[in-house]
Amino acid sequence: MNEGRTFVSALSFSIPMKQIKEILNIALPAMAENFLQMLMGIVDNYLVAQLGILAISGVSVANNIITVYQAIFIALGAAVTSVVSKSFGEKDASALKNHARQAISVTIILSLVLGLFSLICGNKILTLLGTETKVSAIGGLYLAIVGGGIVSLGLMTTLGSLLRAIGKVRFPMYVSLLSNFLNAVLSALAVFVLGWGVLGVASATVISRLLGTVILMKRLELKPHHFLPQFQIDKDLIQIAFPAALERLMMRAGDIVIIAIIVKFGTKIVAGNAIGEVLTQFNYMPGFGVATASVMLTAYYFGQGNPAEIKKSVQSTYYISVLLMGLVSCSAFLLGHPLGSLFTADKNVLAASQTVLLFSFLGTPVSAGTLIYTAAWQGLGKARLPFYATTIGMWLIRIVLGYFLAVHFHLSLAGVWLATLADNAFRHLFLYSLYKRYLNDLFSTASSREDEKN
C-alpha cells in the first residue's frame, strides 16, 4: 500500500497540475471519441445479430476489411495532427492552411480508391477468404455500402484531427456522439420497422457519418472548393502518413498470423483469446487518447523549437498513460471471470481469456511506452522509426518467438502472449533509446542557437 502511495506521490510531484490538465483536456475527448467509434460497431453487430447467423457472419468478415481502412485513416489522422500542430506552434498560418487542404485532398483520393475497391472487388475478396456463397453475398452488400461510402469515415477522421490540432478538442467528440445516436436510431428503424436488414444497417452507418462530416465542415468553415482533389504532394504529410499507415497494416497482417498459431490449440483456446481481446481493447483506450495528446504537444513544441517542453510532455504522457491503462487493465483482470461469463460458461474458455487479461495487465508499462513513443516520433515528423520497430517486433519477436514458445515449448496461449509482451518491451526500449538520443541533439542545437544570439 505504501509503495502505491509513493508511486502516486511521485507522479503528482513530477507532473505539474497545469500540464496534467493540458494533457487530459486533449486525451479525455479523444478517449470518448474512440469509445463512441467502438460503440457504433457494437450497435451494428447487435442489430445485425437479430437478422440471423448468416447476416452476422457476413458483416463480421466485411468489418475485418473495414477495420483495415479505419487503421489507414487513423494513421493519416495522426499525420494531420502532427503537421498541423507543428505549423500551429510555428505560428505559420500559410503552412497550416496548405497542410489542411492537402490533408483533405489525400483523404478524398484515398477514399475513392478504397471505395472503388470495395464496390468492384468486395464480394470476390470475401469469397477468397473462404466464406460460403450466402455469407459472401451478405458481407459483399455491407462492404459495398459502408466501404463504398468510406469517404464519410475518412473525412470525419481527418476533419476531427484538424480541429484537435488547432485546439478544438471537444467538438469532434460531440459530433461523434451525435453520429452514434443517429446511427442507432436509423439502424433500429431500418431493421425493426422498415425491414431493410443489412442494407438498412449499412446505409444508416454511412448516413450518420456523412452528417458528422457536414457538421465538422461547417465548424471549420470549409467551402465546396476545399474538397476538390489537389494533386500536389505535401511531403511533410506523406512522410508521416505513409510509414504510419504501413505500421498499422504490418500490425494487422501480423495479427492474422498470430491467430493462425492460436488456432492450433483448438476452438476453446481461440474463443477464450477472442473474449480476452474484446475485454482488453478497453485497456488501450486511455493509451490511445493520451497518445493523441502526445502527438499534438510534441509537434507543437517541436514547431516552437522547445526541446525542454517536448521532454516534459512526453514524460508526462507516458506516466499518465501507464497510470490510466494500469487502472483499467487491473480492473479487467480482477473482473475477468464475471465479465467473461457474459460470453460463455465454459471453464476452459474462461481460463484462456484470463490468460489474455493477465498478460495485458503485466505488459501495461511497455504497452504504454510503445504507444507514447510511437506518438512522440510521429509528432517529431519521423514516423519511419515506429514502422521499423513494429516490423522487427511483430515478425521477428512476436510471431517467431511466439511460435516456438507456444508450439515447441508447449506453452500454448501463454507462449503467444509472452512473445507479445517481449515484442512490446523491445519496441518500447528501441523507440525510447533513439528518442533520448534525438532529444539530446535537439538540446545541443537549441543551446548553440542561444550562444549565437548572445
pLDDT-derived band at 372 (thresholds 50, 70, 90) equals very high
Strands (E), 362-428: none
Distance from C-alpha of 280 to C-alpha of 356, rounded to nearest angstrom:
8
Residue 344 inside a domain? The answer is yes
Residue 4, domain member (yes or no):
no
409-443 pLDDT, tens digit per residue, is: 999 999 999 999 999 999 999 999 999 999 998 88
Number of structural domains, the chain?
2
Stretch 19-43: mean pLDDT, rounded? 77
Final residue of a structural domain among 205, 232, 259: 232
Distance CA 170, CA 192 (A): 33
82 and 381 in contact (C-beta within 8 Å)?
yes
Q: Are both 322 and 208 inside the same structural domain? A: no
Residues 244 and 173 in one domain: no
pLDDT above 70: percentage of residues in the chain: 90
DSSP 237-253: HHHHHHHHHHHHHHHHH
Q: Are residues 222 and 288 in the same domain?
A: no
- Check whether residue 187 and residue 264 sit in a common domain: no
Lowest mean pLDDT among 50-64, 315-329, 355-369, 379-393: 50-64
Separation of alpha carbons 394 and 289, rounded Å? 23
Q: How high is the mean pLDDT of the chain? A: 84
Q: Give the domain extent around 185.
A: 16-232
2 is a domain residue: no
The pLDDT value recorded for residue 290 is 92
Tell whether 78 is covered by a domain.
Answer: yes
Residue 7 has pLDDT above 50, yes or no: no
pTM over 0.85? The answer is: no
My answer on whether 365 and 399 are in the same domain is yes
Taking 70 as the threshold, does the pLDDT of residue 242 lie above it? Answer: yes
Per-residue cell: 214: 457536414
Between 324 and 263, the higher pLDDT residue: 324
Q: Of 208, 14, 224, 228, give the one whose Cα is nearest residue 107.
A: 228
Which residue from 209, 278, 263 is spatially nearest to 66, judged by alpha carbons? 209
Grid coordinates in use for 282? 478497453
Residue 66 dihedral angles phi and psi, to the nearest 5°: -60, -35
Q: What are phi and psi of 67, to 5 degrees?
A: -65, -35
Pair (281, 218) in one structural domain: no
What average pLDDT does range 174-178 have in this prediction?
89
Same domain, yes or no: 163 and 312: no
Are 154 and 228 part of one and the same domain? yes
The whole-number average pLDDT for the span 386-411 is 93
Q: For position 12, what pLDDT does the model report?
A: 44
Average pLDDT over residues 13-39: 75
Tens of pLDDT, residues 132-175:
777 778 888 888 899 899 999 999 989 988 888 887 888 988 99
User: For residue 88, which of 28, 164, 169 has the smallest C-alpha distance?
Assistant: 164
Torsion angle of C-alpha atoms 362, 417, 331, 172, degrees rounded to 10 = 100
Instruction: Give the contacts of 324 (CB within 8 A, at least 6 positions apart).
Output: 286, 287, 290
Q: Are residues 379 and 346 in the same domain?
A: yes
C-alpha 31/C-alpha 107 separation (Å) is 23
End residue of a domain, out of 232, 266, 290: 232
Say whether both 368 and 407 belong to one domain: yes
Q: Give burial (CB, 10 Å; 0-12/13-18/19+) of 315.
A: middle
What is the model's pLDDT at position 14? 56
For the segment 281-339, what is each residue's pLDDT rounded down to a tens digit?
888 889 988 998 899 899 889 888 889 999 999 999 999 999 999 999 999 999 988 98
Same domain as 245, residue 181: no
Both 200 and 322 in a single domain? Answer: no
Q: Of 232, 252, 281, which residue sits at a domain end?
A: 232
Three cell numbers at 337? 471471470
